Structure 1
């Protein structure tokens, strides 16, 4: 991906989703480009992230907290807590499904947002928000569904690229918090990457010490992208 071949736009300052007192800006690859599907893998390698039909990278003047990170599949081994998580959810069926809207998925998504993001605007998402945020016409997306019998407990929205998986978003039944379904979703994506012979899972951004983002350091060996390229997180 070369800047002379791909147009980049910078967004206007907007409220930061991680620090209430800060503003943020992103670099966005031209969303009208007909080559977004071909650019996606290279964009992941350079630390970009997909949200809906946009590929973006944080580009804030006074903050550099958002650090792209990825799991090294060949080297990853679950720790004791992660092994317990897998055992705790051994009764679930994991189904690779086509991405897209359904009433069942949307109802679960809505309940998850109401519980996790009350009063923040996201908890008012409608069906069009579901489609616009989680999928894009050009994205190689599948939904990993976690079911207890016929009941849908969680969905991991996963993009499957030639150079790895991108863990886009996970939503699950907030009443099933004891199952640690967020951790389980990442572990199942590790298994998916292994089945498909893919070397990386791109987890988006790690923020050191952030209560909602620091959990990613538990998936070791975790690599972070620095100004000099990818390196293992100490």
Structure 2
């Protein structure tokens, strides 16, 4: 990419494709590249404007006849875990997440494949190879962390790392105003732990400790069961045509 392209991002529009969330709908996306020295600053601005990151691409929906995708961020300082959330935190008190650089590993890919095969066998990521996974993790020009969750060991409080098999993983961007959860996956045989919910709760606590006001959860799609869980983390803000609007969640949405 030329120096002009690095300093002045160009935006592109995709062709219509079938919507993965709402049957009978078609989606289009506007996207740009996140490269160069200003990639982190650009990622901050775009995330605050409703974009998401995938590798070195920032994108957001640009559908002509549908506005169902709504950007969601949790208000960290005001968040108070519900009784359900407190049970999930207690259930996973034996886990600890270790922050690592964005580097893939064989353990991560094995868990990733198990997760896809059990939870998203028909999804768009189902055919991802080990090379595809490596690119998803390490192809980043912004501040990114991999958080690996394992069971606590006797020295976890000192070293900040667990022991034993890998149980869950989160790929997370560190922004100037929060944490953005890019992608997460977990052991599908541990459904009773509600690990997806636990990782969000853990990120809210991480953001709180870091003095960051938000955790960005990506898009909530009203009417899509697979996205319903995001509305549970309240209070939160939704991006509207006039800016971010505070809303309350629905704690009884599906896990």
Q: TM-score, normalised by structure 2?
A: 0.86
Give the drift of 1:156: 1.2
Q: What is the root-mean-square deviation in Å for CA atoms of aligned residues?
A: 1.7
Instruction: Return the alpha-carbon distance in structure 2 between the equivalents of residues 32 and 230 of structure 1.
Output: 27
Distance 1:112 1:98 in 2: 22
What is the alpha-carbon distance in structure 2 between the residues aligned to residue 187 and residue 28 of structure 1?
A: 29
SS state of the match for residue 115, structure 2? Answer: helix
Name the structure 2 match of 1:161: 175
1:32 shift after superposition: 5.8
* Residue in structure 2 matched with residue 129 of structure 1 by the alignment: 132
**Partners in 2 of 1:191 and 1:120 — Cα distance?**
30
The residue aligned with 2:104 is 101
Q: Which residue of 2 aligns with 1:233?
A: 247
Are the equivalent residues in 1 in contact too, given 2:104–2:137 (CA < 8 A)?
A: no
Cα distance per residue 1:47-77 (max 9 Å; x no partner): 1101121100100011110000100011111
Unaligned runs of 5+ in 2: 1-6, 152-162, 249-255
CA positional deviation for 1:31: 5.1
Greater shift, 13-22 or 144-153, is seen at 13-22
Match of 2:50 in 1: 47
Shift of residue 93, structure 1, vs aligned partner: 2.0
Q: Measure, in 1, the Cα distance between the counterparts of 2:140 and 2:33.
A: 15
**Counterpart in 2 of 1:197?**
211
CA distance in 2 between counterparts of 1:110 and 1:20 reads 26
Question: Which of these residues, 179, 183, 186, is aligned with residue 200 of structure 2?
Answer: 186
Q: With structure 1 as the length reference, what TM-score do the two structures score?
A: 0.93
The one of 189, 198, 202 aligned to 1:175 = 189
How many residues are treated as equivalent by the alignment? 231
Q: Kindly provide the CA deviation profile for residues 13-43 of structure 1, in whole angstroms up to 9, marking residues without a partner as x.
A: 1222212422211010245666322201111
| Structure 1 residue 217: Cα displacement | 1.0
